[in-house]
């Protein structure tokens, strides 16, 4: 039997982006194109560089589908966790930030 909690959805009457309130909230917009999320990715890129000395050039393709090079498995894991974090922030109506992401 399916739990009632599993059937609850965060349904809203608007299709406008949770973060910028300007564009339609499509998955590409929410994960990459939104100006609020772009700032978050930039902050994350800086934080990753400070920790690893690896400077990644964030682009839509790599954010959405990940790196194809198996040398970047850990970075793909970070991207996956980041996308999950962004979606959770959207669901909770909170702006994504690196401090909260690190926790």
pLDDT for the residue numbered 56 = 81
pLDDT for the residue numbered 12 = 57
72 DSSP assignment: G
What phi-psi label fits residue 11: left (phi over 0), alpha (psi between -120 and 50 degrees) or beta? beta
DSSP string for 21-36: SSSB--HHIIIIISHH
pLDDT for the residue numbered 1 = 44
Helix and strand numbers, DSSP H then E, in the chain: 6, 0
pTM (2 decimals)?
A: 0.81
pLDDT in single tens digits along all 103 residues of the chain: 444 444 455 555 678 999 999 999 999 999 999 999 999 999 999 998 999 898 887 888 888 888 888 888 888 898 999 999 999 999 999 999 999 998 8
């Amino acid at each position: 039997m399916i739990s009632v909690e599993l059937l609850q959805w965060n349904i809203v009457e608007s299709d406008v982006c949770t973060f910028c309130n300007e564009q339609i909230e499509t998955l590409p917009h929410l994960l990459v194109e939104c100006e609020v999320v772009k700032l978050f990715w930039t902050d994350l890129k800086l934080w990753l560089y400070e920790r690893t000395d690896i400077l990644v050039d964030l682009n839509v393709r790599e954010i959405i589908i990940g790196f194809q090079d198996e040398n970047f498995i850990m970075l793909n894991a970070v991207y996956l966790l980041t996308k999950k974090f962004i979606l959770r922030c959207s669901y909770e109506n909170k702006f994504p930030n690196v401090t909260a992401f690190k926790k």
